[in-house]
Structure 1
Amino acid sequence: MTFKTRLLLFAASGALAMPAWADEGSKEAETDAEAEAVEATEAQKPAAEIFSTGMAKGRDRLDSATSTSSLKGDDIQRFGPRPLGDVLRTMAGLRVATGIGEGNNNYTVRGLPLAAGGSKYMQFQEDGLPVLEFGDLFNVATDVYLRNDFTVNAIETIRGGSASTFASNSPGGIVNIISRTGEQEGGRVQVTAGLDFDEKRIDFDYGAKLGENTRMYVGGFYRQGEGPRDIGFTGWRGGQIKANITRTFEGGYVRAYFKLLDDRSPTFAPYAVNITGTNDNPIIRSFPGFDLRRDSTLSGFLGPVITLDRNNQPVALPIATGQSAKSKSVGFEAQFDLGGWTITEKMRYAVNGGDFSRMFPNRQNTVTAFANAIGGPGSSAAYASGPLAGQPIADGALINGNGLLSLYFVSFVRAKSLDNFTNDLRASKVWEVGGGKLTTTGGLYLATQELDTTWLHTAMIVDANGGGETAQVDIFNAAGDPQTLNGYFAFGRESSLFRRIFDVDYRVLAPYGSVNFHIGKLAVGASLRYDSGRVRGQLFGADLGGGRVGLTSFDFNQDGVIVPAEARTAFLPLDRPAPVNYDYGYLNYSMGVNYRVAEPFSIFARYSRGGRAAADKVLFTPTVDPLTGNVPSGDQQDTVIQYEGGFKLRRGGITVNGTVFKVEAEDQNVLNGAANATNRTYEAEGVELEGNIVRGPFSLMLAATYTQAKITEDRLNAALTGNEPRHQPDWVFVAVPQVDLGKFAAGANIVTITSSYAQDSNNLRMPGFTTVGAFAEFQPAENLQLTVSAQNLFNTLGIFEVNQGSVPANGIGFARAANGRTVQASLRLAF
């Protein structure tokens, strides 16, 4: 309470204590003083920030024992059209490794491991329901079906807390993309063009009233272009459209919505990089002729992807496929009061599919050394595609300025069905109990998730040529006999691994409930959820074990001669399926306490235990019984335990939130066979800090996350016990300064990550780096806006991933980096 408020209240009290015979003027002064006192007291109260994701009911963040963050859609759009992963990198507490493309990026929180990509421990939602039930399905992680455009009204994230009890498979937290619903009437059209890269894009949205209590909204985008890297073809093409209609009534609303997504974008991989120096202080540089920030192995001179299809018939698939995501969804949402209870119903059915291709490296060397490794001493190489097709490559030739050849595997995943249905029904009621308010909530969650995908592969030998001009290369032994076929090293992998069909259905049923008692400054709450699942299906695969064989020979060019490449053809043993047949169940619970010390300040503490059910990462492993399809109870889910406590302050344009945490987690994440299995426990401790300052036209958002993580037990490789997990920096810093002068606005987003280990062996340490995004916005007229925005403004070489565990003796490695600088201009018309 300020001195002015105390003074006013004192004056009011004095006036009330005056004798009854006070004159009429004194009474007027008394009334004025009371009014001023009320106004001053109200001014002291911070404006409520209602947050609803991962909670029973929306409530002010100062009254909630959770760690949460939010970002408004208008603030997101100021920095220009960009992938969702780049947006989430600027949110407090999240660890995001981008550079892969529009989707399939890596997300985690609080030191939880990034063992196999995607988002294993955090659930991605759209309007409160999961996009996919499991966030780390191989090659089709959740974010391939999400896009950042005008339709995004806000992004809310909850880390730990009650996330594990108000959503399934989300023990680490929830990211919720909240759509606009037409509250603001009018529309916008925006055209965007890349200034130093090839992309053209149009965004639009429109909201309107259809009656006194009915409104509608529609929005979306379309784009095409080569994209932020030189790939030699149109890699980005497509878009999405979302629409909804809402009818409000006293005490509630009903809403119907739909979404159509059909969008293609390339997938980027680790590429050739020069690594020298020491493990503690490596020097990582691009090779001549191949800029790790701008170039890609993708090229119009490659492909097609020749292999055997799902029915073991030859097929040629386009190399340009990339992430070709397709999704059609319809949903229904309602909220109404019934007998003092607030009933909320959310339902969505989504038809998800598409083709997903990517290239990933196996090995690399100089021309002579590489050729000899394939064909033996005295082997030679010649171009198999591109403008130099048929021309031999001289021994020791420094082609493209780097003299390198590489073996890349091309993964082509055909998602026949990732369809899902989700329904979340809950009821809440507030009771007056003992001078306080008791909020009770009960709910039932039902979901189905199909997984019908086919994994196809081929293998190519390519050079390291930038500018979208990578070409395939043939290898000949000393006798001149071809070891490859038109640049194809194999029509599969070197072994029969990864020729697979997944045909599995998941059903999830989860009753849940919570209680929260709020009296005075104190709020105490607890929640629980029981996740039960039914998993049924079958697998077909060349690497199922048990005597199954998946290698054969196939005469692809039909010349009657089988060359070594054709002898390395993978096929599917369709007559030998393996069953998947098991049920699971586990309890999640969370309890917390929040104390509102003063109007603008609160403290909280929470304990949570949640699980993540096993999905495709345990399939095709010894974990699944090959005869019965059963999975032992101890391998059916991974458990995450979190302890957290913190404070929240919001006063006078300043917001500061701080949380200390400790996490204990399990991870069984088998992917590449027994040699690369993961069966571990982890522990992490750290601090999350987030603040926002607003002073007139200036604002500044700051965030810092400190994490210390370790592998507490590795059950398959004891030598790794006690090591630090790979890709886990000690610090992540975010700063977003902005100035808004009305007709002109400008800002930046600055993200810094410190160094981290490339692999769990803890030898090679990847250097930390800082990327800067920026925008400048000008309004020449009331409804017209011009924006110039940039990502990675200073063209930083930021390394997210290095394949090698130590500095290679020959200095040749593979690394995945952030995209280089991209600058774009947008012109927006509002109406």
Structure 2
Amino acid sequence: MTGRAVEAPLGETELSYAVTRIDASTLARNGPLSTADLFTQIPGFWVESTGGEASNNVRSRGIPTDGYSSVALLEDGLPVQYDGGLGYLNTDQVYRADSTVDRVEAVRGGPSAVFMPNAPGGSVNFLTRTGLHQPGYTLSTTLGSFGYRRIDGFAGARIAPHLGVSLGGFYRQDDGLRDPGFTADRGGQLRAGIEYDDGHARLSFNVKRLDDRVILYLPVPLQFDGKGDVHGIPGFDPLFDTLAGPENVQVPFKTATGLRDFDLSQGTHSRVTFYTMLGRLALGEQSALEVKARLRTGSTLRNGLFPIGRPMSADDYLDSVRPQLAAAFPGAATTQIRYADTGKPFLPGSNGNGLVVGGNLLSVWMPMQEFIADARLTHGFDSLGHHDIALGLTYDDARLSFDRTMGTVLLDVRGQARRLDVVALDSGGRQVGALTDNGFVRYGSLFDGVDVRSSNIAFYLADEWKVAPHWRIDLGGRWEHVRIGGGMEGSIPIDLGDPDTLADDAVLTGNGAVAPIRRRFSGLSWTAGANFNPVPSTGLFARITRIARLPSASEFYALPDRTDEAIVPITMAEAGLIVRHRRWNLSAVAFKTHFARLPFTDHRFDPESSTYVDRTSIADTSTIGLELAGHADLPGPLQLDVQATLQDPKYRNFSYVDLVGGLPVTYDVTGNQLIRVPRLSVRITPSLNLLAGRLRIGAEFVHHSDRFADIANTQRLPPFSLLNLDVNAGITDRVTFTLRATNVTNTLGLTEGNPRAGSFDVGGMGSSYFLARPEFGRALRATLSLSY
């Protein structure tokens, strides 16, 4: 079981932590579009799965860090990526769940931080299906709205009494839940494996190749009405439209070294190969040696259109840039906005709303090679009760390049937005200059060239101690050391020499000077838990964990000499009740989480200078909360599943300085609610099981309370509720049909604001227009599966 020192059987009510299991039938029934979407079934997790099939955010128990920096994503007990929160390279970008997954086990908090790196919030373990232990064949095909087409398959066979082989994977293609006007997602993965297990020795090896590109959905234009309610903007459907469009699929991008082609249709394109070896050797009846290793090679390309600032009218935009154009082109009498491709004037009726918005065409290329190994010696013995101990060593070596370029463009506000040019005209209407070039306000508005190597070594020790028939004590500690090395090339602005435009006056490029990155950090984490199991059906537990969170290598990409990064102490306490009966079960866990001395960086894009501006404050956070999960077989065919998280996530000792009228003003935001985390999340799933279990009809009601897009809590994201429906029918013993409809009511629910506007203070609701990322509109998928 995930999160334990040994493999010895143990019931859920005997655990000193909370675990969520998702079996193969549930996986098939829900058919999540993304890894993050699957995590919505785990209490305590706040999931933003509106980025598409990859590049989403997961938070747990009020932990104030994004991505996968605090939740470990595992495959067969080994991290998919040791540091899941690398900048622009979340773990979910290189992981896809398919028919080779047998089940999922998620540990919420608990001992995760002792056994796994970067896992204070928990760990989610995807356990793969093998031909030896789960032989058989499955084939499924899925069709859905928006041109969704997918095929999954698995074939596993026992070719000798102790030897099995398997082959499986998927291929998928679709036009996008938001219509970009080109193929949004295309690709798949293939896994081949072999396993030997004679009960004494177990050895398996598999190779997995992922070649998949998925679109990255980003914030869309919206507006507040006079009551503060959120609505779409005329000419742009916030449920189904995106600013990404065909006009930005192939864009020539001027750089100091020549033209570069920017291809928006590449999205997040991962070409990655994983080689995994797992082994276990029994050393007597109560001892074993376990070894796991994984080599990863390949690269990820991320091309995206990142909207910036706020939508505004064309007249307001021209007013903001007119002084700049007048200074650059003295003969200018008037200014005008035109379409970059046709030269036709942009008029109030051109796009149905007369609004324009800025955007960054960002390209990041990240080749990465990583080797992860874990060796664990387990032993059981009797002394003042029974002990099952584990002594382990984990090693990781990762080498990563980070090449980032960006250009800033002006767009009209519409689905599949078009680039706009801003020109200066003389009194006779002749063009004398331009702010832009081919829609670019600034070429080379960002440049990064980084090569980094991160080496981690960790030792851990854990003891599961059965003190008495009904009492267990779990103890564990982890010491970890990280060494970060590499270099960052500096940048310099260069004028490419076109006198007719301002777009190429300050193109950032490498200056040839490499600043070294050299950092070392070490920290000790520990945990202690106790379980009281008075009867087999009931368990009570309590646990306290103290974690030393080590800085990530990507935190030094842009600032190799930064001094504000240090070990962050995290204290987590939890107490729970687990009850399992024949017709119902309940899990209730109270928790408290405290982060101390955590750096918060306001990474804000300044539209006036077309560059990012950073500032950092050191602060604390604290969260108290309650997780509930339950299932009940009600009278007749009715079943009910409920999960809920109630929490109070707050900033502590948090202040920052802003300039007001050119003077510094200090703002204290202590006590404010953590950004984007709701105080209440509820998921209620009633279902009908008919025809002796061969037909299941279910509904899923989801509600999230209000959240905030910034730390100052000036921009409120309203509460919202979703309705999903599913039907699962067993046509025969080997053929099943699943139909799933999501967001049936087309609810406009916002999961985040616009991070490019900054995280400290985005300016509240002073403007009726803003950017945010909503839930997807209504979608339908149908799956036909055959198994043997």
Structure-1-length-normalised TM-score:
0.86
Shift of 1:186: 2.1
| Superposed counterparts of 1:385-404, under 5 Å | 385=341, 389-394=342-347, 397-404=348-355
* Counterpart in the other structure of 1:53: 3
Task: Pick closer, same or farther for the CA change 1:342–1:738 going to 2, 3 Å.
Answer: farther
Q: Give the direction of change, closer, same or farther, for the CA distance of 1:689–1:652 in structure 2 (3 Å limit).
A: same
Aligned residue for 1:504? 452
CA 1:541–1:715 in 2, change beyond 3 Å: closer, same or farther?
farther
1:540 to partner: Cα distance: 1.5
**5+ residue gaps, structure 2:** 324-332, 604-611, 658-666
The question of 1:259 aligning with 2:208 is answered yes
The within-5 A match list for 1:111-130 is: 111-114=62-65, 117-130=66-79
Aligned length: 742
Q: State yes or no: 1:551 paired with 2:497.
A: no
Match of 1:75 in 2: 26
Shift in Å, 1:61: 1.9
Q: Which residue of 2 aligns with 1:231?
A: 180
Secondary structure of the residue aligned to 1:635 is coil
Deviation at 1:324, TM superposition (A): 0.5
The 1:751/1:450 distance shift into structure 2, 3 A limit, reads farther
Q: Among 383, 388, 391, which residue is 1:439 paired with?
A: 388
Cα pair distance change 1:746/1:342, threshold 3 Å: same
Aligned to 1:21: none
Shift, 1:458, TM fit:
1.0
Give, in whole Å, the separation in 1 of the partners of 2:527 and 2:451. Answer: 34
Q: Name the aligned partner's letter for residue 193 of structure 1.
A: L
Structure 2 counterpart of 1:826, which letter?
Answer: T
CA 1:170 to 1:807, structure 2 compared with 1: closer, same or farther past 3 Å?
closer
CA RMSD between the two structures: 2.1
2:142: which partner in 1? Answer: 192
Unaligned runs of 5+ in 1: 1-50, 543-549, 626-630
1:384 corresponds to which letter in structure 2? A
Residue of structure 1 in register with 2:651 after alignment: 711
SS at match of 2:444: coil
**Residues 690 and 703 in structure 1, CA contact (< 8 A), matched pair in contact too:** yes
1:735-789 C-alpha deviation (Å, 9 max, x unpaired): 2333343432222333221111221112232111122332213344443333221
The reply to whether residue 146 of structure 1 matches residue 95 of structure 2 is yes
C-alpha distance in 2 between matches for 1:670 and 1:583:
21
Paired residues of 1:799 and 1:817 also in contact (CA < 8 A): yes
Amino acid at match of 1:379: T
1:41 maps to which residue? none
2:600 aligned with 1:650: no
Q: Which residue of 2 aligns with 1:635?
A: 565
Aligned pairs (5 A) from 1:546-585: 550-554=492-496, 561-573=499-511, 575-585=512-522
SS of 1:491's partner is: strand
Q: Are 1:649 and 1:657, in contact at CA under 8 Å, matched by a contact in 2?
A: yes
Which residue of structure 2 lines up, in the alignment, with residue 45 of structure 1? none
Judging changes above 3 Å, is the alpha-carbon distance between structure 1 residues 506 and 299 closer, same or farther for their aligned structure 2 residues? same
Whole-angstrom distance in 2 between the partners of 1:679 and 1:617:
18
Residue pair 1:55, 1:163 contacting (<8 A) in 2 also: no
Distance 1:329 1:771, change over 3 A: same
Q: Within 2, Cα distance between the matches of 1:140 and 1:674?
A: 21
Decide whether aligned partners of structure 1 residues 539 and 670 sit closer, same or farther in structure 2, where only a CA change above 3 A counts. farther
Identify which of 695, 701, 707 aligns with 1:750.
Answer: 701
Q: How many Å separate the matches in 1 of 2:229 and 2:547?
A: 41
Cα distance between partner residues in 2 of 1:359 and 1:275: 23
Q: Distance in 1 between matches of 2:602 and 2:7?
A: 38
Cα distance in 1 between the residues matched to 2:232 and 2:440 = 26
CA deviation after TM superposition for structure 1 residue 700, in Å = 2.7
Q: Conserved in 2, the CA contact under 8 Å of 1:727 and 1:801?
A: yes
Q: Aligned residue for 2:545?
A: 608
| C-alpha deviation, 1:488, in angstroms | 1.4
Structure with more strand by fraction: 2
**Following TM superposition, by how much is the alpha carbon of 1:333 offset from its aligned partner in structure 2, in angstroms?**
0.5
Secondary structure at 1:184 match in 2: coil
Partners in 2 of 1:426 and 1:303 — Cα distance?
49
- After superposition, the Cα gap between the structure-2 partners of 1:780 and 1:593, relative to the gap in structure 1 and judged at 3 Å, is closer
**2:771 alignment partner in structure 1:** 814
Q: CA deviation at 1:669?
A: 4.5
| CA deviation map 1:301-341 (0-9, x unaligned) | 125354467x8443112111111112101111011211441
Deviates more, 1:482-491 or 1:230-239: 482-491
Q: Distance in 2 between matches of 1:209 and 1:353?
A: 34
CA distance in 1, matches of 2:71, 2:510: 33
Once the two structures are TM-superposed, the CA of residue 572 in structure 1 deviates from its matched residue by 1.6
For 1:701, which of 635, 641, 648 is the aligned residue? 641
Q: Residues 650 and 455 (structure 1 numbering): CA distance in 2 closer, same or farther, change over 3 Å?
A: same
Q: Cα distance, 1:252 vs. partner?
A: 4.0
From the superposition, tell whether residues 780 and 512 of structure 1 become closer, same or farther in structure 2 (CA, over 3 Å).
closer
Paired letter, 1:463? D
Give the one of 420, 441, 444 matched to 1:492.
444
Alpha-carbon shift at residue 597 of structure 1 (Å)? 1.9
**TM-score between the two structures when normalised by the length of structure 2:** 0.90
Q: Distance in 2 between matches of 1:813 and 1:552?
A: 33
Offset of residue 230 of structure 1: 0.7
Match of 2:351, SS state, is helix
Of residues 368, 373, 377 in structure 2, which corresponds to 1:423? 373
Cα distance in 2 for partners of 1:335, 1:230 equals 49
Q: What amino acid is the match of 1:571?
A: T
1:328 aligns with 2:301: no
- 1:683 equivalenced with 2:622 (yes/no): yes
8 Å CA contact retained: 2:454, 2:553: no
1:343 lines up with 2:289 in the alignment: yes
Deviations 1:389-418 (A, max 9, x none): 221123xx1332221111101211011x22
Deviation at 1:561, TM superposition (A): 4.1
Q: 1:724-739 counterparts in 2 under 5 A? A: 724-739=673-688
- What does the per-residue CA deviation read over 1:252-278, in whole Å, with 9 as the maximum and x for residues that have no partner? 411111111010111111111012335
Mapped contact 1:79–1:774 kept (Cα < 8 A): no
Residue of 89, 99, 103 corresponding to 2:50: 99
- CA positional deviation for 1:807: 4.7
Q: How many Å apart are 1:238 and its aligned residue?
A: 0.3
How far 1:674 sits from its partner (Å)?
Answer: 6.4
Question: What's the CA shift for 1:568?
Answer: 3.4
Q: Does 2:331 align with 1:382?
A: no
Amino acid at match of 2:268: Q
Q: Which residue of 1 aligns with 2:751?
A: 800
Amino acid at match of 1:683: S
In structure 2, the partner of 1:536 is 485
Q: Is the 8 A contact 2:134 2:156 kept in 1?
A: yes
1:701 corresponds to which letter in structure 2?
D
Secondary structure of the residue that 1:101 maps to in structure 2? Answer: coil
CA contact (8 A) 1:74 1:153 kept: no
Partner of 2:461: 513
Tell me by how many angstroms 1:715 deviates: 5.8
How many angstroms apart in 2 are the aligned matches of 1:511 and 1:303? 48
| Superimposed CA distance per residue, residues 490-537 of structure 1 (whole angstroms, 9 cap, x where no aligned partner) | 1122xxxx4112211111110110122102101112100100111111
